[in-house]
Amino acid sequence: MGYAISSVSLLETAPSLGFAAKVARFRARLIDRLLAQTEGEAGAMAVALLTGARNLMAEENQEAMRSAGLAHLLAISGLHIGLVATSVMLVIRSLLSLAPAIALRYPIKKIAAVVGLMAALLYLAVSGATIPTQRAFAMTAIVLIAIIIDRLATTLRLVAVAVGLLLVSPDILLNVSFQMSFGAVIALGAFYEKMRGTRWLTGRRQSWLRSAAVYGAGVAMTSIIAGLATGLIAAFHFNRYATWGLAANLVAVPIMALWIMPAAILTFVLLPFGLESFGLTLMQAGIELVLMTAH
């Protein structure tokens, strides 16, 4: 209890919430909403992939993912950001191409790239915008901006940009995440630059079956090359190497690329209509297979 000896006067108003705080509040509400519609470890992993909240998963399953060499699937990074941007871009471009009046008048590839960039930015914000996610978004944004301005963004040029980051923050060279990302990008870039222009990638007439086979082979090779590039770095820092990591990635990465992440995009699309449970159900079915592979 106390006594007032004068009238109350306002000395200072509290600053308004910044954009980052508003995004964090939206993300917290989104996590609660998604958790209410999911169950079990598959549901926890689905929410983790959508929002970056990895702490929701049981330590047992996180350890199983690490032991199987699949921990990179939990950390929202280049794989996830790239899949979101690419999937959205392909869908938008395909839809626009169905209307000849639009396809013949407007640069639908550039329009699709802009939408893909916006989707990647939204995913970055919702997933918590960690440093690895920001780095992955920057790389993806460079590729999409190159498409918009009619430039060729080769992977090794992206490596040069990553090296430029060392001028701004040299200490990240000692960061394990940076080393593994850098090693994977260099290895993948060297491989796909070598394969650029080969007949099996650039054949003029390709059936949908051949295109699907090429894409599947690309996903498999990406898993093998990235696994070899990052495995040695992981062994050096953590004194462990996932013996069955390559085999596990050959199974889990295609499931992530062709099933789980498209379902994640569908979940975001259905979210404003309150129908996200359909996308979450699809995600959890695919995640069950990934967890089974990890164990």
- Alpha-carbon distance of 140 to 123, in angstroms, equals 12
Residue ranges of the alpha helices (H) in the chain?
A: 19-35, 40-51, 59-67, 78-97, 100-103, 108-126, 131-148, 155-168, 176-195, 199-202, 208-238, 245-255, 261-270, 276-294
Q: Residues 195-246: pLDDT tens digits? A: 766 655 555 555 667 666 776 777 777 777 877 888 788 788 877 777 777 7
Residue 18: count other Cβ atoms within 10 Å of its Cβ.
9
The amino acid occupying position 49 is L
Among 6-15, 72-81, 88-97, 226-235, the minimum mean pLDDT is found in 6-15
pLDDT at residue 250 is higher than 90:
no
Q: Which of 19-28, 67-76, 87-96, 232-241 has maximum average pLDDT?
A: 87-96
pLDDT at residue 63 is higher than 90:
no
The predicted pLDDT at position 116 comes to 94
Rounded mean pLDDT of 127-146? 84
The predicted pLDDT at position 201 comes to 55
The predicted pLDDT at position 115 comes to 95
Selected residue with higher pLDDT from 115 and 68: 115
The predicted pLDDT at position 274 comes to 85
Selected residue with higher pLDDT from 274 and 154: 274
The predicted pLDDT at position 10 comes to 76
Confidence tier at 119 by pLDDT (50, 70, 90): very high
- The C-alpha angle 124, 77, 87, rounded to 5 degrees, equals 70
